[in-house]
Amino acid sequence: MALIHVNFYSEILNMDTGISVIMPQKLQGIGLAGSGVQETYPVLWLLHGRSDDHTIWMRRTSIERYAAPLGLIVVMPEVSYSRYLNMAHGPRYYDYMTEELPHFCKKMFPKMSMEREDNYIAGLSMGGGGAMWIGINNPDRYGTICMLSTGGMAPLEGLWRGKEGDVNSTYLKCNRDIYGVEDSDSLAGTEYDILKLIQEKAGNEEILPKVYHAMGTEDVRYPVAMKIKETFEGIPGNPYRYEYHEGPGKHEWEFWDTWIQKFLETLPLKGGK
């Protein structure tokens, strides 16, 4: 595999930003299985959490080793604490993620597949919410969504915040920057309501991404996962092909490292064939 760090100027963000990209490479004899040469490669858009950046998956897991035998490009962007939205008082990260970044990456990496069935979007915590938000809003671009330890979504904050003394000035400032209001739970029924989005898209879209959801049973955000699970499972016919998994773990890298591997095992990847 080749690991590439790219810094570039984003017209939408109006500033420099960075991505880390893992590229398939045919390797032999160095203890890291490589994929064969392919015409195009499937893509995993792998999203970070609120306190992290585009380097974190490489620093905390062995994602390069997991992707190597699968013939999989992994793109890891950086979006600050935006929740992958167009911020009320900040950059337009949703537009960046859905408009500028895919086109930029395709120019940089022409063997990247743009077919929906070859594009997967995944993330942890805030990144899990971002994967769900972007994936459900763009069902023509992503075949599968993976959300690990979902958190940071309106209107579900009140289900867990405060239990660890986490309602503080920093959190309130983040909400003002992102949504324009301090209380994200007040956004129920608005354009920011993730539960509303799940239900509306299920009734309005002919093609929907598959949704893979995993949560740690000791995670303080567990009630958020249960509410999301209830919403998906309440839709007749399971149009998202939603599947829920849980296992021991808190909001921690040991859990995410384990479950990103489990998710990759479910993908219909051909590796080097």
pLDDT in tens, 100-132: 999 999 999 999 999 999 999 999 999 999 999
Domains of the chain: 2-265 (3.40.50.1820)
pLDDT of residue 25: 84
Beta-carbon neighbour count of residue 52 at 10 Å?
Answer: 21
Look up the pTM and report it. 0.94
- CA nearest to 115, candidates 42, 44, 45: 42
Q: How far apart are CA 52 and CA 50, in angstroms?
A: 6
The pLDDT tens digits of the residues spanning 150-188 come to 978 999 999 998 655 556 788 899 999 999 999 999 999
What value does the mean pLDDT of the chain take? Answer: 93
Question: Does position 273 have pLDDT exceeding 50, yes or no?
Answer: no
22-31, 173-182, 260-269: which range is least confident on average?
A: 22-31
| Amino acid (one-letter) located at 72 | L
CA angle, 27 as apex, 21 and 31 as ends, to 5°?
100
pLDDT of residue 4: 97
pLDDT of residue 57: 98
Query: Is residue 180 left, alpha or beta, with left meaning phi > 0 and alpha meaning psi from -120 to 50?
Result: left
Model confidence band, residue 3 (pLDDT cutoffs 50, 70, 90): very high
The structure tokens 């959190």 sit at 171
The pLDDT tens digits of the residues spanning 189-226 come to 999 999 999 999 999 988 999 999 999 999 999 999 99
